[in-house]
Amino acid sequence: MRKKIVAGNWKMNNNKRETAELIQALKPLNFSTDVRVMIAPAFTHLVQAEELTQVGRIEVLAQNMNASESGAFTGEISAGMLHSIGINKVILGHSERRAYYNETDVALKQKVETALTHDMEVVFCFGEELDQRKAGTHFEVVQTQLETALFDLSASQWSKIILAYEPVWAIGTGETASPDQAQEMHAFIRGLIASKYIQEVSDGVSILYGGSVKPANASSIFSQADVDGGLIGGAALNADDFTAIIQSA
């Protein structure tokens, strides 16, 4: 049975001390065994985060990685490097990576393959932009993103995939998809996977919602049948807010 997951994407926030403080504030947190909690600090703090979370159930993931194994890619981090410090999960395809660093679904397909070669779990982000939602093409857009980046995977590889539907118009804007809009898209995504693979694969994949999730709206979104938790940006930087969101899962 798929798990609920609440993952905090800390983006380019927090220095070393602030990162440690936030982790310490989250550590006493008690959450259901049906829920997984993840945090994604900056690359520079992953070692520290891994050490600080050795005891407890908080999992640490990276915000990105390169598709290549090694080589002349100044400023980049490989899957093998992450693995060597005990990190075996990564966010790929976040809309900010797509928008500011030109990451395409074709490039992301390669990153996903590299991550899986290293036995890493992938939180794969995707979602439509505002003009696409307004034009009514959001289902098509999402379908193309998933088909291009993920639908060449084998059924068994899907056990390492976590999906994060993040409508770009809802990220960091304070505007959230309504619970019905989230459910409608998540059900569509699950249907797509079921038609490409088998129902068992589709039933097993956790599909998170992301985009302005806050303590006030988390439970109404998370209670939707096909919403299996959330990828949280801004609200994950505040221990009380993130705790309240985890407790809504």
The answer to the question of residue 9 lying near ligand PGA (CB under 6 A) is: yes
Count of residues touching ligand PGA (by CB under 6 A) = 13
**Contacts (Cβ under 8 Å, ≥6 apart) of 42:** 10, 12, 13, 14, 19, 63
Measured from the CB of residue 152, what is the shortest distance to ligand PGA in angstroms? 25
Cα distances (angstroms) measured from residue 78 to each of 161, 174, 187, 204:
19, 33, 34, 28
Measured from the CB of residue 172, what is the shortest distance to ligand PGA in angstroms? Answer: 4
Give exposure, 3-14, as e/b (b: 16+ Cβ within 10 Å). ebbbbbbbbeeb
- Closest alpha carbon to 93 in 103, 85, 101: 103
Radius of gyration over every alpha carbon of the chain, rounded to an integer in angstroms: 17
Question: Could you say which of 60, 168, 231, 249 contacts ligand PGA (CB under 6 A)?
Answer: 231
- Least distance (Å) between residue 4 CB and ligand PGA: 16
Of the residues 59, 103, 128, 166, which is catalytic? Answer: 166
Tokens standing for residue 11: 């983006």
Assess 8 for contact with ligand PGA (CB under 6 A).
Answer: no
Using the rule CB under 6 A, which residue among 41, 93, 229, 234 binds ligand PGA?
234
x/- letters, 165..204, toward ligand PGA (CB under 6 A): -x----xx--------------------------------
Q: How far apart are CA 186 and CA 247, in angstroms?
A: 21
The residues that touch ligand PGA, with contacts defined as CB under 6 A, are: 9, 166, 171-172, 210-213, 231-235
